[in-house]
């Protein structure tokens, strides 16, 4: 069952604290024996595998030219990366800078280079059912091993950990629909239908496709290989196309099945284990247990009109920012409860590439035509582009069903890249003030933009705000006052120096700039937040953090589910390997 242990791959030594306060590593006497690992393998029906970084076939002593060529071709395939225990979606979360460990695909000098584990797990239970997850959780707790939960690997910092046992939920693909769903433990008269039930491994594209086949649209993410039940929903779940009309992904959830730190399988909803249900909806993935199944609301697959505008210019000069400001103002004026607006600007990846702007508007009018107001506002902006001599493309698509857009297969996903993300939520009061949009764009124009970098500005409001009147969850309360989210992405090549520069830029320039747009920021979106952000507890969860910590203490007293900057992570070192303090005693 077990592959040979290639010590050359992970032999970089580091200080091990001889204390029960630290988790066991392969360098410690407490690390499970081969016999123990084989026993775990039998208990999970042969679904335990020894993990190596996917690029190990490109390095000695495990070099294989044919397999290396295959991995190099697949490197940017997001679906392939989602399925591999030894890969995440972005190489920077596979690295471990503190030990200078990496294993890049397509790196130069394979013969002289080294492939190290970094943050890739040593073993993985490729779970086919909840019982397999139970066995893995019990094993990690018994042997004091760091546990990592990987769904598709988009949520990189929370999907991997050094010297860990991984639970891969990607194979849990069940999807079913229920017209009249009655929650476990609820009164017989309660009927949440129609709903969709889906396993933890179901990706957004798979969920959209299944929904379309049954006449439904489902609130999910933009990237089709994001695992909807994992960090997406548990971190909030923003949908550019549907959130203004339907709310956030977390707002749709009516029930969850969870494997707890004690190894129990429990059902959480508003009638049963209500505290856990509250925490799982916005408290962050990989923190309170392993979610194995989600039940969420499904909606009619309605018609939509999608307007798309693209233009590019040689540089980000005064004219460029003036046009961006005009477009941002137009987008604000067009944002209503059933309209999703997004505009993206940045530098093309080519070192000599131009600056560009992409604008998209999702609208759901009663007739299959572009709303007259939108046509007038966008027409006026296009006249400004013409007057300035700027080339552009503009398209309006009237779709009989929104699913025909959502199910476009995997066009927006690209794995194997390196990037860091940061964001800020902006209030409706600010963005609809006389100077709000102008101040936002002025602040964003102060930043440097390098090839591959981009900023996204996306409309919230609508149901994102109004759902807060009757849905109580762990979501940062700032979402319920938000009008826009501004997201910045810093890209870099597979190189530690470039990665460190991008990280420092995000930490010391980008995020302070974003957080200064509004005098008192509402918060940040956990799923695309900077994970070395100061004051992260307040920015991620606001006033909900103390309650979340108490629930964490109750459901995971061992600190088994620790993720970077997650609830309770302040009790542990940066990688969740050694405690720095104990949980506070219960009152």
- The values of phi and psi at residue 98, to 5°, are -60, -25
CA distance 306 to 341: 10
The C-alpha atoms of residue 337 and residue 42 are separated, in whole angstroms, by: 53
- Within 344-468, residue ranges assigned H as helices are 372-387, 403-406, 428-431, 436-445, 463-466
Give the pLDDT of residue 369.
Answer: 77
Are the C-beta atoms of 202 and 124 separated by less than 8 Å?
Answer: no
Distances (CA, A) of 155 to 88, 185, 225, 286: 8, 32, 11, 10
Please answer whether residues 545 and 505 qualify as being in contact, where contact means their C-beta atoms are separated by less than 8 angstroms: no
Percent of the residues in the chain that have a pLDDT greater than 90, as a whole number: 80
- pLDDT band with cut points at 50, 70 and 90 for residue 19: very low
- Segment 67-76 mean pLDDT: 93
411, pLDDT greater than 90: no
260, 141 Cβ separation under 8 angstroms? no
Asked whether the predicted pLDDT for residue 410 surpasses 60, the reply is no
Question: Higher-confidence residue: 53 or 365?
Answer: 53
- Strand, helix or coil for residue 320: helix
pLDDT per position as a tens digit, 293-312: 999 999 999 999 999 999 99
Cis status of the peptide bond prior to 61, with omega within 30 of 0:
yes
Checking if the pLDDT of 127 tops 60, the result is yes
Model confidence at 346, in pLDDT bands (50, 70, 90)? very high
Average of per-residue pLDDT across 462-475: 96
**Could you tell me which of 155, 388, 187, 175 has the C-alpha nearest to residue 270?**
187
Least confident segment among 142-146, 247-251, 528-532: 528-532
368 pLDDT higher than 80? no
Specify which of 4-18, 90-104, 110-124 reaches the highest per-range mean pLDDT: 90-104
pLDDT at 189 (0 to 100): 84
What's the confidence (pLDDT) of residue 542? 97
Q: What is the pLDDT at residue 91?
A: 95
Buried b (16+ CB within 10 A) or exposed e, 9-26: bbeeeeeeeeeeebbbbe
CA distances from 296 to 92, 207, 279 (A): 32, 11, 16
Q: Per-residue confidence at 163, pLDDT binned at 50, 70, 90?
A: very high
- pLDDT top residue among 250 and 350: 250
User: Taken in order 328, 332, 333, 338, is the CA torsion positive or negative?
Assistant: positive
358 exposure class (CB count in 10 Å sphere: 0-12, 13-18, 19+): middle
Whether the ω angle into residue 194 lies within 30 degrees of 0, i.e. cis, is: yes
Note the pLDDT tens digit of each residue in 191-246: 888 999 999 999 999 999 999 999 999 999 888 899 999 999 999 999 989 999 99
**Domains along the chain with CATH numbers:** 7-168 (3.30.43.10), 175-300 (3.30.465.10), 304-400+415-538 (3.40.462.20)
Encode pLDDT of 257-284 as tens digits: 999 999 999 999 999 999 999 999 999 9
Residues 136-152 have a mean pLDDT of 97
Cα–chain center distance at 74: 21
**In this structure, are residues 342 and 456 in contact, taking their beta carbons and an 8 Å threshold?**
yes
């Amino acid at each position: 069952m077990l592959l040979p242990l290639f010590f050359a791959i992970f032999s970089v030594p580091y200080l091990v604290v001889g204390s029960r306060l630290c988790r066991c590593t392969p360098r410690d006497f407490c690390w499970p024996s081969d016999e123990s690992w084989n026993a775990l393998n039998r208990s999970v029906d042969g679904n335990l595998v020894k993990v190596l970084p996917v690029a190990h076939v490109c390095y000695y002593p495990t070099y294989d030219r044919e397999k290396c060529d295959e991995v190099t071709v697949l490197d940017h395939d997001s679906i392939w990366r989602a399925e591999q225990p030894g890969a995440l979606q972005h190489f920077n979360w596979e690295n471990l800078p503190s030990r200078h460990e990496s294993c890049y695909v397509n790196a130069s000098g394979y013969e002289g280079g080294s492939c190290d584990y970094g943050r890739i797990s040593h073993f993985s239970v490729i779970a086919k059912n909840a019982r397999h997850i139970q066995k893995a959780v019990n094993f990690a707790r018994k042997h004091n091993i760091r546990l990592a939960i990987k769904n598709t690997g988009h949520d990189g910092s929370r999907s991997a950990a050094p010297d860990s046992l991984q639970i891969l939920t990607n194979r849990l693909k069940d999807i079913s629909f229920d017209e009249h769903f009655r929650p476990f433990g609820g009164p017989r008269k309660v009927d949440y239908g129609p709903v969709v039930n889906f396993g933890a491994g179901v990706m957004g594209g798979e969920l959209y496709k299944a929904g379309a086949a049954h006449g439904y649209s489902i609130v999910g993410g933009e990237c089709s290989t994001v695992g909807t039940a994992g960090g997406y929903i548990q971190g909030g779940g923003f949908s550019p196309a549907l959130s203004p009309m339907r709310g956030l992904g977390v707002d749709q959830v009516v029930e969850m099945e969870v494997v707890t730190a004690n190894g129990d399988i429990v059902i959480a909803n508003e009638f049963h284990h209500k505290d856990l249900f509250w925490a799982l909806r916005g408290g962050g993935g990989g923190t309170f247990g392993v979610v194995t199944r989600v039940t969420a609301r499904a909606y009619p697959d309605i018609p939509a009109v999608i307007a798309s505008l693209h233009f590019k210019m040689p540089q980000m000069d005064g004219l460029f920012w003036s046009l961006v400001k005009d477009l941002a103002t137009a987008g604000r004026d067009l944002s209503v409860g059933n309209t999703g607006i997004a505009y993206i600007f940045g530098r093309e990846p080519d070192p000599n590439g131009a600056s560009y702007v992409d604008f998209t508007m999702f609208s759901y009018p009663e007739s299959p035509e572009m709303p007259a107001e939108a046509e007038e506002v966008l027409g006026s902006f296009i006249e400004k582009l013409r007057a300035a001599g700027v080339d552009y493309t503009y398209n309006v698509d009237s779709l009989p069903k929104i699913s025909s857009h959502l199910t476009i297969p995997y066009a927006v996903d690209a794995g194997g890249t390196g990037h860091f993300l940061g964001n800020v939520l902006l209030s409706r009061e600010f963005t609809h003030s006389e100077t709000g949009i102008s101040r936002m764009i002025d602040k964003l124009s102060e930043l440097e933009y390098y090839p591959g970098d981009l900023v996204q500005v996306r409309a919230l409001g609508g149901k994102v705000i109004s759902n807060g009147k009757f849905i109580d969850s762990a979501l940062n309360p700032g979402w319920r006052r938000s009008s826009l989210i501004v997201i910045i992405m810093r890209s870099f090549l597979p190189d530690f120096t470039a990665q460190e520069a991008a990280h420092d830029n995000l930490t010391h320039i980008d995020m302070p700039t974003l957080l200064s747009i509004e005098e008192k920021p509402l918060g940040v979106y956990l799923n695309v937040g900077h994970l070395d952000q100061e004051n992260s507890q307040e920015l991620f969860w606001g006033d909900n953090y103390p309650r979340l910590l108490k629930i964490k203490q109750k459901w995971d007293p061992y600190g088994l589910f620790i993720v970077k900057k997650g609830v309770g992570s302040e009790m542990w070192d940066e990688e969740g390997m050694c405690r720095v303090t104990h949980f506070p005693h219960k009152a």
